[in-house]
């Protein structure tokens, strides 16, 4: 088991996606998500950009290792961003104001609404017939 002073770990979430990120000081930024390079794991370049956003906005370089599960690719990318932002504020508290202003520290509360009984979906009512 690695000691706490070698890496900093934080958890990020979005919808049903949960990301556990470990940051280690490095000369250049790199990211491994579930054993794959971030560019190979996420299907779109925009999602890779989303995941790297906290590192680029603070101008810091860390080797990031992430375990992510649940949700879709987009939710996983935002969960990774959330985890990295939380870990960065743990390492350097001065980054908190900047990251908070950009919205990287806020856990997005939006999630799928549950289906209710008597309805066809969360809100969709059965078709009404007058006669």
For residue 95, being part of any structural domain is answered with: yes
For residue 1, being part of any structural domain is answered with: no
Query: Is residue 39 scored above 70 in pLDDT?
Result: yes
Residue 65's domain spans which residues? 8-102
**Dist CA 60 CA 57 (whole Å):** 8
- 63: helix, coil or strand? strand
Considering its fold, how many domains does the chain have in total?
1
Q: Which two tokens stand for residue 58?
A: 């603070």
For residue 125, being part of any structural domain is answered with: no
Q: 1 pLDDT band (50/70/90 cuts)?
A: very low
Give the CATH number, domain containing residue 85. Answer: 3.30.230.10
For residue 127, being part of any structural domain is answered with: no
The reported pLDDT for the residue numbered 14 is 96
For residue 13, being part of any structural domain is answered with: yes
Distance of CA 115 to the CA centre of its chain: 26
For residue 114, being part of any structural domain is answered with: no
**Dist CA 105 CA 131 (whole Å):** 54
Condensed to tens digits (0 to 9), the pLDDT of residues 54-94 reads 999 999 999 999 999 999 999 999 999 999 999 999 999 99
Condensed to tens digits (0 to 9), the pLDDT of residues 94-129 reads 999 999 999 999 999 999 999 999 999 999 999 999
For residue 120, being part of any structural domain is answered with: no
Q: What is the dihedral of CA 36, 52, 90, 82, to 10 degrees?
A: -90
* The model's pTM: 0.89
End-to-end alpha-carbon separation of the chain, Å?
70
Residue written as token pair 């930024």? 29
Q: 5 pLDDT band (50/70/90 cuts)?
A: low
- 6: helix, coil or strand? coil
């Amino acid at each position: 088991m690695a000691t706490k002073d070698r890496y900093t770990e934080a958890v990020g979430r979005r919808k049903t996606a949960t990301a556990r990120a470990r940051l280690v000081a490095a000369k250049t930024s790199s990211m491994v998500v579930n054993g794959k390079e971030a560019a190979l794991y996420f299907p779109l370049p925009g999602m890779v950009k989303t995941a790297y956003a906290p590192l680029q906005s603070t101008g810091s370089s860390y080797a990031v290792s992430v375990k992510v599960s649940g949700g879709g690719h987009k939710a996983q990318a935002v969960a990774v961003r959330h985890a990295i932002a939380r870990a960065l504020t743990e390492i350097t508290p001065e980054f908190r104001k900047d990251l908070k202003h950009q919205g990287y520290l806020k856990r997005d509360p939006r999630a799928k609404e549950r289906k209710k009984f008597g309805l066809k979906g969360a809100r969709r009512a059965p078709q009404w017939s007058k006669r």
